Amino acid sequence: MELIGLDASFKPVKTLKCINIQWNRRYYEAGDYQLQLRAADWEPTIAYVYTPLRPETGMVEKIETEHTIKGDFVLVSGFFLEGMLNWKTVYPRYQATGNLSDTCRVLVALHMADTGVFTQAASALGSDAAFDSLGDPLGDVMYGALKLQAFSQRVRLDYERENLLYEVWQGLDRTQTQQTHTYAVFSQHFGTADEMTLTQDQSGYRNYAIAQYEGGALEVDLRGDGVQPKRVLYLDTGLSPADGQSEANFLAAVATAARTQLAQYARIVNVEVSVLQSNLLYLRDYDLGDLCDVRDDRLGLAFEARIIEAAEVWKANTHTISLQFGDKLPTVYRRGRQ
């Protein structure tokens, strides 16, 4: 993959000759990357790693040097541009009830001006939602709110104009239940998956929240039919009504905070797939954020699940892609499988 090192003003410094590239794209959180180069191929003035082949741009945040009998090497790593959203904290308190994508754009305009990240006029995406935050990392709280509506956010480098643009976006529906886009089915039977690992876990599942706020508590029930046993989560939202805020808007904000927390305790269905680049091609037939059909042929299971992570590796002239569908696995799972 072509990578170009840019200086702090987004001016090109040099094309990078990498030995190893890891490009980890994520839908509900900021992705990251890591490069290995020979020391002679690195330039210390490089501040960003850009490619015209992906929407992400990497920030140079960590540099490590290696001196071995095989030579001198440099390891470069960092978050993609979305990581800079967490440089900021929501302060003072921000409350809004309206279209969520508009709310996120307003928050970016309020907090990110000194970083060079700008917003631009765009059509409202998704539905209305109550938002109430104080002291939360900006990127995390916006990712959490957007996840409830299956949206993501991006900070894109406009390479020609040398500026940074914030946008809210959503992947495509590529399931067989729709007719707008081409289908994307991942299974070994279809010849689109090599290795597949399925994890289902409801040990931490919660479907009912008691959300404490100043002066009372609100109960939020996600059971639908009300027949299932309550699996209760208690949380102290720390919220209190603001001056002039209606009771309805305040309680909607409390309910949103409860649903955001309950989303962290959902039933986990995660499928990790090493994909084959034959019947379906990455970036042409599917991409990060797309909703796809995933089948475990041996167990006879089928899911509609969104691509939440695309981990790409280039090494020894080989490009491999591993996808994660559904829900993010807790860290303990990731550690256990290393």
Enumerate domains of the chain plus CATH numbers. 4-79 (no CATH), 84-169 (3.55.50), 185-201+267-336 (no CATH), 208-265 (no CATH)
Residue pLDDT, tens place only, 45-65: 999 999 999 999 999 999 999
Helices 247-262 and 138-147: crossing angle, nearest 10°? 90
Residue pLDDT, tens place only, 220-231: 999 988 789 999
Q: Could you tell me the pTM of the whole model?
A: 0.91
> Has residue 333 got a pLDDT over 50?
no
Taken in order 221, 222, 228, 232, the sign of the CA dihedral is negative
> Has residue 262 got a pLDDT over 50?
yes
Residue pLDDT, tens place only, 283-295: 999 999 999 999 9
Q: Which residues contact 14 (CB under 8 A, 6 or more apart)?
A: 4, 5, 43, 46
> Has residue 16 got a pLDDT over 50?
yes
Question: Which of 93, 274, 289, 284 shows the shortest CA–CA distance to 194?
Answer: 274
Q: Which residues contact 71 (CB under 8 A, 6 or more apart)?
A: 38, 39
Please give the share of the chain, as a percent, with pLDDT higher than 90: 89
> Has residue 80 got a pLDDT over 80?
yes
331 pLDDT tier (thresholds 50, 70, 90): low
334 pLDDT tier (thresholds 50, 70, 90): very low
| 92 cis-preceded (ω within 30 degrees of 0) | yes
User: Please, are residues 138 and 153 in contact by the beta-carbon 8 Å criterion?
Assistant: no
Taken in order 260, 265, 267, 271, the sign of the CA dihedral is positive
Residue pLDDT, tens place only, 171-182: 999 999 999 999
DSSP bridge partners of 322? 274, 311
Tell me which of 36 and 70 has the higher pLDDT.
36
Question: For the chain, what is the mean pLDDT?
Answer: 94
> Has residue 208 got a pLDDT over 80?
yes
